Copies of this chain bind each other. A is one copy, B any other.
Amino acid sequence: LAKLANDEMAELVLKYPDRFAAAVAALPMIDMEATLKEVDRSINELKFRGVQINTPINDKPLDSPEFLPLYEKMSQYNLPIWIHPVREANFSDYRTEKRSKYMIFHVFGWPYETAAAMTRLVFSGVLEKYPNLKIITHHCGSMIPYLEQRIIGAYDHAEVLRGAKYKQGLTKSPIEYFKMFYNDTAIYGSTPGLTCAYAFCGADHLLFATDFPYDSQFGERYIRQTIQSIEQMNINDKEKKMIFEDNARKLLRLPI
């Protein structure tokens, strides 16, 4: 199925070169051997410029040892991994209920999954082990930029007050690893949110994305709102261009 999907993507890129700069691969993450082969095939034969995985993968966190070979390979290729969060309505928010109501699992659960995945990759040492790894988060780093000081403070607090060893094995402070992630602009048109993310990770770690075609106007709304929200940021044109295209060209190593 992954091969089939990737072949069709390759065909689209080939057919519409004015529309698509490149594609990224879907992977059969239930089988790491098959995954590594499909990464090689996608990048070398189909000319893909990265891969996309979910979080969690079959209910497992991204720092599970079985996934490390993928990080090693993508680190060697020096091409990015997109992480897309997943959670369904049967992941209840309350122990007295069977299902998540009012789409809470989706609206906030997905960003939570992203925050959890980032945290796992930081403290398990995956980013320490593969400092070259380029990971792109969805929804602009979810709640990480907004809660920057909570993250910094909580692990300091745990260390000072109860001798927690979360930082063991890390050579930098935890927040520095959180800043290694690249974050897309898919918060759908919030200049204050993007400005908060910019303050956290800088223009060079923000990548234009709109979540097309997911919106009430089949993609047009979020594209319009996202472009506008970046244009309205109080940063210079060079930085806006970085967000809109230069960072992607660089990260995907596209021909200029």
User: Could you tell me which A residues sit within 8 Å of B by CB distance?
Assistant: 56, 58-61, 93-97, 101-104, 106-109, 111-112, 115-116, 119-120, 122-123, 139-140, 142-143, 145-161, 164, 166, 187-193, 195-196, 198-200, 214-216, 221-222, 225
Contacts and interface: CB of A to CB of B under 8 A. Distances in A.
16 contacts: A59-B94, A60-B96, A61-B97, A94-B116, A102-B123, A108-B119, A143-B146, A143-B147, A147-B187, A148-B190, A149-B190, A152-B188, A190-B196, A191-B199, A192-B196, A192-B198
B147 A56 contact: no
- How many of these chains are in the complex? 2
- Nearest first, the 4 closest Cβ-Cβ pairs linking A and B are A192-B199, A149-B188, A59-B95, A143-B143
Contact of A216 (B157, B193, B198): B157
A40 to B, nearest CB: 28
B215 A143 contact: no
